[in-house]
Amino acid sequence: MTLQDAKIGFKDCSDCPIRHRAVCARCETNELELLEKIKYYRSYEAGQTVVWSGDQMDFVASVVTGIAALTQTMEDGRTQMVGLLLPSDFVGRPGRNVAPYDVTATTNLMMCCFRKKPFEEMMQATPHIAQRLLEMTLDELDAAREWMLLLGRKTAREKIASLLMIIARREASLNVSADSDVRVFDLPLTREAMANYLGLTLETVSRQISALRKDGVIMLEGKRHVTVPDFQRLQDETGDDSDGGMLF
């Protein structure tokens, strides 16, 4: 599966969480009809909370547009982002009733939701859905583990570069055409959200972005629009192997 495939998958069937991430070929008509019946859309404004940690969560969903964040917060307010959901990403878990972390809309957000009970029933009836969800969950686990390396061992500069790479790769697959070295994208996160993603303070995030700009690794128009003149150069700043960890 390539990102290109995923994009097509998303565009062609934007309301099926299983089809999302490029499994169109395996979805059959009667399943789609079933999904039609149990689906509904929900919109959230930037900053709104979708579910609170510990709350009942009676639906599963996939992101249609916008960005959502999964966060965990300690009693004294320290918060760590533990998941970043971009369009086509899936959220919620069959077999669990209670959300283990806060889900909040980072930007304006539209999600396609499915009530959990019927969704689970469909899972029982059509085995390949569980297999597909397993695959998606394993991908998420891989991402979480790469994130753990970032949190535990990378410097602030490497963390910023890594985050920019992640966003560049995701957004680039949606926006840009050429496979040239130059990449252009918008930062969909505030400095504070980036800090919560990276386990830093927002001041450190700001300083490191300034440093990368001064060193010519990135260019900024306004606070959000990023141009990467040399993608390899940014890659080198992440501390990751040059093959980008995309080896499976």
- Which positions lie near a second copy, rule CB under 8 A? 54, 70, 72, 74-76, 78-80, 82-83, 93-98, 100-101, 123, 127, 130-131, 133-135, 137-138, 140-142, 144-149, 151-153, 198-199, 239-241, 245, 247-248
Q: What are phi and psi of 188, to 5 degrees?
A: -90, 10
CA–CA gap between residue 126 and residue 33 (Å, rounded)? 13
Q: Using DSSP, how many helices (H) and how many strands (E) does the chain show?
A: 8, 11
Judged by CB under 7 A, which of 94, 118, 188, 199 binds DNA? 199
CA–CA gap between residue 195 and residue 29 (Å, rounded)? 44
CA–CA gap between residue 141 and residue 145 (Å, rounded)? 6
Nearest distance from C-beta of residue 227 to a second copy, angstroms: 27
CA–CA gap between residue 166 and residue 152 (Å, rounded)? 18
On whether the CB atoms of residues 41 and 109 are closer than 8 A, the answer is no
Q: Classify 117 in phi/psi space as left (phi over 0), alpha (psi -120 to 50) or beta.
A: alpha
233 contacts DNA (rule: CB under 7 A): no
151 binds, among DNA, a second copy, none (CB under 5 to 8 A by kind): a second copy
134 binds, among DNA, a second copy, none (CB under 5 to 8 A by kind): a second copy
Q: Whose Cβ is closer to DNA: residue 118's or residue 199's? A: 199
Question: Which residues partner with 49 through β-bridges?
Answer: 104
Q: Whose Cβ is closer to DNA: residue 64's or residue 160's? A: 160
156 contacts DNA (rule: CB under 7 A): yes
What Rg do the C-alpha atoms of the chain give, in angstroms?
Answer: 19
58 contacts DNA (rule: CB under 7 A): no
Tell the residue number behind the tokens 């930037």, with chain if given.
46
Q: What are phi and psi of 63, to 5 degrees?
A: -75, 125
192 contacts DNA (rule: CB under 7 A): yes
210 binds, among DNA, a second copy, none (CB under 5 to 8 A by kind): DNA
190 contacts DNA (rule: CB under 7 A): yes
Q: Chain-centre distance of CA 169, in angstroms? A: 11
Q: Whose Cβ is closer to DNA: residue 93's or residue 191's? A: 191
203 contacts DNA (rule: CB under 7 A): yes
42 binds, among a second copy, DNA, none (CB under 5 to 8 A by kind): none
Classified as helix, coil or strand, 55 is: coil
Nearest distance from C-beta of residue 67 to a second copy, angstroms: 18
Judged by CB under 7 A, which of 7, 128, 169, 207 binds DNA? 207
Given the rule CB under 7 A, which residues bind DNA? Answer: 155-157, 190-192, 199-207, 209-210, 220, 222-224
